[in-house]
Structure 1
Amino acid sequence: MTSLPFVTVDVFTTTRFAGNPLAIVKIPKGRDVATAQMQSIASEFNLSETVFLYENNTNDETEPEWRIRIFMVGAELPFAGHPTIGTACYALGTLANNSRHGKLHCNAGPIELEYDGEVAKASIPHNVHIHTEHEVTAEQIYHLQPAIAKSPPPQSVDLVSPVKGMNFVCVELPSLEILAQVEASGKAITPQLDVDWNTGFIGSYFYVIDEQEGEKLTIRTRMIEKSLEDPATGAAASGLAALLALKHKLRFAKFSITQGVEMGRRSEIGVEVTLTESLDKVKKVVLSGSALKVMEGTVFCD
């Protein structure tokens, strides 16, 4: 019988039992676990994501690096935001004794990390694509969310992929009151994606811009996927931030995004987006947040 140590952390929060829970299963140096076994373990945890962290021997003279794989209950992901931040805080804070810098390697590419003892910043892999070949209509949104069908219509509906395989329908609503009516209705949205981008996860990300002062925006969000609501979605937040920076030509944009309020798991997500000088491409995306360890134990598997 194989045993693997694990911890759980609450991500995008400084308060335990808030934010978004994450399981981190540690794979000791020199060992490996089959993909099918990883998927079974992620299904057993039944959280939005589970990370498998390949442990390394850290050295004070070198920048610590770790390979990670990220799984939903039913599929592996190339990248996801709250697993990145949660793993960064745990790996740099605990495994590397509060190292200020490090790197994660996920399937989407390398992720440069900074850590100040509380907040981790991750320069995330990105290949931002705004889908334009097919429109997502208000009627599709109302089918997904019948509770808001009689409210004032969405102010905008966009489909964005922060990386290939992660896709979000971003719906700007007129008010927080309408945002509160959004439900995990169990209905799936199936928009047509652009050619060569028709793959991976699709979620619905509803948002209200609370405040904008220059290139600083404060936003409230909710992320729904069928019958599930996610307390904090770093990939969606990154995609939305890149979308808004491009739409509004914001060269150095900073976003404070609050998610999970309506489900009692308030999450605070930071995103910084830098555009190229031409203002038509994303140069850099930095995701930031905190995480706290909640549980630890051992996974037993055959």
Structure 2
Amino acid sequence: MQRSSYRYLVVDVFADRPGAGNPLGVVLDAADWDSMRMQAFAAWTNLSETVYFLPPTTLDASYRIRIFTPRQELPFAGHPSVGAAWVSLETGLVSDTDRLVQECAAGRLPVRVVGTGPQRMITLRAPRARPVGIEPPPQALRAVLASLPTAGLQAALWNNGPSWWLMELEDDAAVRGLAPDLAAIAALTQATAAVGLAVFGRTPAGADHDLAVRAFCPADNIPEDPVTGSVNACIAAALDAADALPGHDGRYIASQGRELGRDGRVALQVDADGEVWIGGHVQGIIDGRATW
């Protein structure tokens, strides 16, 4: 028999203070929820993602989650993964430790933990990103490119669980001032089975971050996502492949969400094996119960 009341949290991910990052809905102990129920609740929350905790299926996993947008399930997403790791520790679901293993549809992903509480830094290894070949470019891509001041890397579709279109713009000012054509972006993402489109631009020397990033998912009823871990991991992989990483020693900071009144920060690292790690802080906002 299904229970009707479940512990439900909302946390703010990639945020050094409440309200600065990307909200994440979290349902604990969702072992008796089926896919339709999860999708319906995720659509109702209207958050960019909602995660559900389930018993792990392997002995080496610390916990297991499923990740849903309002429209579909994702094998991996960055801010839900960072947020879920934080929740697993803060709620006592797992013992306090500096190493975790997250099980999700994209596989088992290692997690590093430093600190405690709101200052706890969660860093997770993203699934390896790869370019998705689409030739020739669809008409929908040409329609999007016509309105963007692109520069640097050529526009490309990358996948690290979800698929994202990545487009480098002239600089951070071009990213900040962009008025996106959401209808054209929706057409492009639907035509190519992508979750969304991300633009990024480099900042001047001396700034407290290296890239400005924005991500748009209008086909998922998310016109602009505040802070997106999987996008930033894909961007890092694309820049690494082109030997064009900013920062030093494969490490840099991305800023995302300012255009939505947020100020999310994602710490990126590309290690010696070419693996991308994404990190950030998490703030607890709501801890209650959901009846569904």
User: Which TM-score band applies after superposition, normalised by the shorter structure?
Assistant: 0.7 to 0.9
| Cα distance in 1 for residues equivalent to 2:101 and 2:179 | 37
| Cα distance in 2 for residues equivalent to 1:201 and 1:24 | 24
Change (3 A) 1:87 1:210: same
- Equivalent residue number for residue 10 of structure 2: 8
| Cα distance in 2 for residues equivalent to 1:153 and 1:188 | 16
- Equivalent residue number for residue 80 of structure 1: 77
> What amino acid sits opposite 2:89 in the alignment?
L
Greater fraction helix = 2
| Cα distance in 2 for residues equivalent to 1:115 and 1:248 | 29
> What amino acid sits opposite 1:222 in the alignment?
R
Whether 1:182 aligns to 2:184 is no
* Alignment match of 1:223 (pick from 210, 215, 220): 215
User: Secondary structure at 1:244's aligned position in 2?
Assistant: helix
| Cα distance in 1 for residues equivalent to 2:266 and 2:73 | 23
| Cα distance in 1 for residues equivalent to 2:101 and 2:67 | 15
- Equivalent residue number for residue 35 of structure 2: 35
> What amino acid sits opposite 1:289 in the alignment?
G
Give 5+ residue unaligned stretches, structure 2: none
CA deviation map 1:231-256 (0-9, x unaligned): 11100100000000011176952221
CA deviation map 1:31-82 (0-9, x unaligned): 42111000011111110000001268xxxxx977111000000100000000
| Cα distance in 1 for residues equivalent to 2:138 and 2:232 | 19
| Cα distance in 2 for residues equivalent to 1:115 and 1:63 | 17
- The question of whether the paired residues in 2 share the 8 Å contact of 1:173 and 1:206 is answered with yes
Change (3 A) 1:161 1:153: closer
How far the C-alpha of 1:201 sits from its partner, in A, is 3.1
| Cα distance in 2 for residues equivalent to 1:295 and 1:44 | 17
| Cα distance in 1 for residues equivalent to 2:255 and 2:138 | 25
Task: With the length of structure 2 as denominator, give the TM-score of the two structures.
Answer: 0.83
- Equivalent residue number for residue 134 of structure 1: 136
User: Secondary structure at 1:236's aligned position in 2?
Assistant: helix
User: Secondary structure at 1:262's aligned position in 2?
Assistant: helix
Q: How many residues align?
A: 274
- Equivalent residue number for residue 25 of structure 2: 23
CA deviation map 1:146-205 (0-9, x unaligned): 4x5xxx5544432232324x2222111113332223235431434599xxxx97433111
Structure 1 runs of 4+ aligned residues shifted over 6 Å read: none
Sequence identity of aligned pairs in percent?
Answer: 25
Please give the residue correspondences for 1:107-126 in structure 2 after superposition, counting only pairs within 5 Å: 107-116=105-114, 117=116, 118-126=120-128
Change (3 A) 1:176 1:284: closer
CA RMSD of aligned residues (A): 2.9
| Cα distance in 2 for residues equivalent to 1:4 and 1:71 | 17
Whether 1:289 aligns to 2:280 is yes
